Homo-oligomer: A and B are copies of this chain.
Amino acid sequence: MFEAKLTQGSLLKKILDAIKDLVPSANWECSSTGVSVQAMDSSHVSLVSISLSSEGFDPFRCDRNIILGMETASLSKILKCASNDDSITVRAEESTDTVSFIFESPNQERVCDYNMKLLDIDSEHLGIPEQEYDAVIQMPSSEFQRICRDLTQIGDSVKINCTKEGVKFSAHGDLGDGNILLKQSASVDKEEDQVSIELNEPVELTFALRYLNFFTKATPLSAKVTMSLKEDVPLVLDYRIGELGNLK
């Protein structure tokens, strides 16, 4: 028996909004420590990795490790049926082919339950390796979203150049070119508005804005995003989901 209740159900809704355009289906691996997902997009260009700690749920019960293979579009459709202030309980029996979602309004007056068929997905079980990066940049997630959206007006890809002075985002295309320089902030009133850079090595890397714009769909999950860069290694964007976990 697996059962996990998330008081703030809107978080799960936002997680699905963040990944539904990228990941067609995914295995949700449930263990006593929590829930995690690793899935590639359909073009195998990017990897989505979600980890949610058991401590973010109450109650959380996982008698035995269980893998819930789900169609992302279907899950997203079902979660659209939850109100933002509903709690969401996910429940699955041992060796079942369905999973249940229970949405409860704060005053308990409305209880919805949806049952979805599970899939058998063979996954390669990739993960994002823990490693040293040349540059780790923290910035407001809305700022990063804005940069990607703006540079999409100019070109298809963005060159990210990080030095200790700041990060420069550059694009070029038919109408000309655009460069956005973000300086490391000295001291800002709001911590979440801060731009901070940990630099081992200056880096200059180029990425497709198409994918970055997919990734920034996670912006509502967190006011901040952490971007890790390293030569010949995929870029990592890390959105912290409160105390619950994170989405990379």
Q: Give A residues with C-beta under 8 Å from B.
A: 71, 74, 77-78, 80-81, 83, 98, 107-117, 143, 146, 150-151, 153-154, 175-183, 185, 188, 195
Contact = CB atoms under 8 A, between A and B. Distances in A.
Given A175-B74, A176-B74, A183-B109, A114 B154 contact: yes
Given A81-B150, A153-B77, A153-B80, A176 B112 contact: no
A227 to B, nearest CB: 15
Nearest to A74: B175
Q: For the complex formed by this chain, how many copies does it contain in all?
A: 2
Given A78-B178, A83-B146, A114-B179, 7 more contacts: A77-B153, A78-B153, A98-B176, A110-B183, A112-B179, A112-B181, A113-B178
B78 A109 contact: no
Nearest to A169: B112
B182 A110 contact: yes
